Amino acid sequence: MSEIYKLLVNGVEHEVADAWLGESLLYVLRERLGLPGAKNACEQGECGSCTVYLDGTPVCACLVAAGQAEGGAVRTVEGLAGAGELHPIQQAFLTAGAVQCGFCTPGLVVAVHDLLERNPHPSDPDIREALAGNLCRCTGYEHIVAAVKLAAGR
């Protein structure tokens, strides 16, 4: 059965029509609302590429039914930076060489944003623990840890 429901994403209320309440938040963000920042890599909650905030808590958007997000506030990687500029965390990833294919990067940026909100000066173990749910197949994580330290320093 299709439904019409409302989703608040990055401060903008969207009316989602002809949708099934059980489709994933990730699908709705990417395919219905044109927000491709959150990536679809595993669709099983294993990789963290689809990480977004739901009511201030990072979640795997592939595991959240869109209907569950109705009435809540979603914030995606597109909502972290101002229009036309990079967030300091994104800039730090570029500067530190922490982006190769980039598929994991949006989810990591959201996860790092959450980490630094909670812990502005994380240790290496803090960083590795906080990012344990975000898999990167390219960088070997050293550059990612360096990027987090760079962002924290700023």
Please give the residue ranges that form the binding site for ligand FES (CB under 6 A): 40-43, 45-50, 60, 62, 99-104, 136-139
Least separation in angstroms between CB 120 and ligand FES:
24
Considering the complex, state which of residue 13 and residue 140 has its C-beta at the smaller distance from ligand FES.
140
**In the beta sheet, which residues pair with residue 75?**
53
Least separation in angstroms between CB 116 and ligand FES:
19
Q: 111-135 burial by CB neighbour count: b if 16+ within 10 A, else e? A: bbbbbbeeeeebeeeebeebbeebb
Considering the complex, state which of residue 104 and residue 146 has its C-beta at the smaller distance from ligand FES.
104
Least separation in angstroms between CB 49 and ligand FES:
5
Considering the complex, state which of residue 144 and residue 152 has its C-beta at the smaller distance from ligand FES.
144
Considering the complex, state which of residue 6 and residue 137 has its C-beta at the smaller distance from ligand FES.
137
Residues 6+ apart with CB under 8 A from 100: 138, 139
Q: Nearest to residue 80, comparing CAs of 56, 109, 108, 40? A: 109
Considering the complex, state which of residue 80 and residue 111 has its C-beta at the smaller distance from ligand FES.
111
Report which residue type is found at 115.
Answer: L
Least separation in angstroms between CB 63 and ligand FES:
7
Please give the span between the terminal C-alpha atoms of the chain, in angstroms, as a whole number.
49
Least separation in angstroms between CB 78 and ligand FES:
17
The Cα–Cα gap between 132 and 44 comes to 16
Grouping H, G, I as helix, E, B as strand and the rest as coil, residue 126 is: helix
